[in-house]
Amino acid sequence: MDVNELLPKSETLRLREKLIGPSCKLFFRADPLKIVSGKGQYMFNEKGEKYLDCINNVTHVGHGHPKIADVASRQLRVLNTNSRFLNDNLVVYAEKLTSLLPPPLSVCFFVNSGSEANDLALRLARTHTKAKDVIVMDHGYHGHVISLIDISPYKFNHKGGEGKPDWVHIAPVPDIYRGKYTDKDYSMEELTDLYTDEIKKIVDENVANGKGTSCFIAESLQSCGGQIILPPNYLRKAYKYVRDAGGVCIADEVQVGFGRVGTHWWGFQLQGDDVCPDIVTMGKPMGNGFPIAAVITTKEIADSFGATGMEYFNTYGGNPLSCAIGNAVLDIIVEEKLMENAVVVGASLLKSLAVLKEKYHIIGDIRGVGMFIGIDLVKDRESREPATSEAQHIISRMKEEYILFSADGPHRNVLKFKPPMVFSLQDADHLITILDTIFQEIESVNV
């Protein structure tokens, strides 16, 4: 057995089925993977077999990074307590984080997960605006707590969901390939207008119905919804309509922040230097797998929240350990030039995927930026009918080739690339070679 394995795989699986809630799903349910260790962009099973990891967007600076281990070890020996005491780690980290955002975003709340962050963002928005209604993007996902399932169409409109609460309003996702309006019928400029007009329609209806709009919350690039890149000017226009109606704008950067897009630290920045949300939430990659998340907002909104007099206390949030680790992650991103790497590797992949698209009809659309890429698979390029079962087959075949990939989006037909940021050009070449082989297999069967 591997030195890091405590039980035979069959026993691990038996105990998992007995002891862990059945709602907690395994990848590759029919033949789940047991992972015992990881290094950089690779994960290893109990037999020592090496998998190339294209899906772990949490392990941002790579699996098993020694600097994170060193920082945690040192801080755990020194101190880990709550944020009701003054401690330097908290303020040093808050200062560094806010320096990476436009100046109005200057006040931090530290929490433990993206779900806690979005829940708090919702409270901030409601307290500040004194309104309740929320505008969300279709297929959006914002977290697993009760308040966020309520605002996540990815949850409430799917299996086990209870549908949309009446205070939630769904704007169509600006998916220009298979959304309500597409590039088949409209220019990019028209698409931006059509999609943002849908936001305007909602805020106007809220006004007409005597209701305010507390906020518009959107992932800066939609992930679970199918790796969607917002069209140019989308946020600029959407934010204006929302603000004109008294609402605040929340950028959910939980999945895509911290330099994943390569050219910028945050996804919303792709929309232009003048585009600035009122609240940003961040999480997943923030601690490289250590539970940290944050809400960063303006002084005005933080002051409105403070003015209620209700204390906000988060037991673990902003403790010296999590801040030390968050700080180390920021340092590593810079020291190891991971954003620069994302630019180079992302561009290379998009170029190679464009070549594959020429060869294989199953590839309907390729979209992405940096280490965030989606491949929308179709049965037919004209109808754009989603190739759902083919996507599942490809994922399984890639697993056989020791590459971990996943598919998502409303039709589960979008291959989703969001690897650790240390993913290399060599890895990209290997990935393309394997994809080429598998697409070839599929097309030869279908001929």
For 17, counting Cβ atoms within 10 Å of its Cβ (0-12 exposed, 13-18 middle, 19+ buried), the class is: exposed
> Given the rule CB under 8 A, which of 88-96, 349-357, 390-398, 437-445 is the region that contacts a copy of itself?
88-96
Q: Residues 142, 195, 229, 277: is their CA dihedral positive or negative?
A: negative
* Dist. CA 49–CA 37, nearest whole Å: 10
Contacts (Cβ under 8 Å, ≥6 apart) of 264: 270
The radius of gyration computed from the CA coordinates of the chain, to the nearest angstrom, equals 22
Residue 200 vs 412, nearer CB to a copy of itself:
412
Residue 122 vs 199, nearer CB to a copy of itself:
122
Which residues in 272-331 contact a copy of itself (CB under 8 A)? Answer: 283-284, 288-291, 297, 302-303, 305-306, 308-316, 318-319, 321-322
Which residues in 121-140 contact a copy of itself (CB under 8 A)? Answer: 122-123
Residue 214 vs 352, nearer CB to a copy of itself:
214
For the CB of residue 6, give the shortest distance to a copy of itself in the complex, in Å: 4
Q: Residues 333, 336, 337, 338: is their CA dihedral positive or negative?
A: negative
For the CB of residue 147, give the shortest distance to a copy of itself in the complex, in Å: 4
For the CB of residue 314, give the shortest distance to a copy of itself in the complex, in Å: 6
Q: x/- site string to a copy of itself, residues 3 to 42, per CB under 8 A?
A: -xxxx-x--xx-xx-xxxxxxxxxx----xxxxxxx----
For the CB of residue 7, give the shortest distance to a copy of itself in the complex, in Å: 5
For the CB of residue 43, give the shortest distance to a copy of itself in the complex, in Å: 7
- By the rule CB under 8 A, 108 interacts with a copy of itself: yes
Among 30, 146, 208, 445, binds a copy of itself (CB under 8 A): 146
Which residues in 420-439 contact a copy of itself (CB under 8 A)? Answer: none
Q: Find residue 281's DSSP bridge partners.
A: 252, 295
> Given the rule CB under 8 A, which of 143-151, 181-189, 212-220, 355-363 is the region that contacts a copy of itself?
143-151
Q: Sheet containing 50-53: which strands, arranged edge to edge? A: 42-45, 50-53, 403-404
Going through 147-299 in order, the beta strands assigned E by DSSP cover 168-171, 215-219, 248-252, 279-282, 293-297
> Given the rule CB under 8 A, which of 116-124, 186-194, 236-244, 334-342 is the region that contacts a copy of itself?
116-124
> Given the rule CB under 8 A, which of 117-125, 211-219, 366-374, 394-402 is the region that contacts a copy of itself?
117-125
Both tokens assigned to 272: 């232009």
Give how far Cα 201 sits from Cα of 14, 206, 250, Å.
Answer: 52, 9, 19
Number of chain residues interacting with a copy of itself (CB under 8 A): 106
- By the rule CB under 8 A, 396 interacts with a copy of itself: no
- By the rule CB under 8 A, 77 interacts with a copy of itself: yes
Q: Residues 271, 274, 277, 280: is their CA dihedral positive or negative?
A: positive
Please list the alpha-helical segments (H only) found in 102-187.
114-129, 146-149, 153-156
Decide if 150 contacts 168 (C-beta within 8 A): yes
CA 355 to chain centre: 27
Residue 176 vs 276, nearer CB to a copy of itself:
276
- By the rule CB under 8 A, 85 interacts with a copy of itself: yes
Among 144, 184, 337, 381, binds a copy of itself (CB under 8 A): 144
- By the rule CB under 8 A, 388 interacts with a copy of itself: no
Decide if 366 contacts 354 (C-beta within 8 A): yes
For the CB of residue 308, give the shortest distance to a copy of itself in the complex, in Å: 3
Which residues in 148-187 contact a copy of itself (CB under 8 A)? Answer: 155, 158-161
- By the rule CB under 8 A, 86 interacts with a copy of itself: yes
Contacts (Cβ under 8 Å, ≥6 apart) of 174: 137, 191, 192, 195, 228, 230, 231, 234
Residue 161 vs 272, nearer CB to a copy of itself:
161
Q: Is 367 helix (H, G, I), strand (E, B) or coil?
A: strand
For the CB of residue 64, give the shortest distance to a copy of itself in the complex, in Å: 5
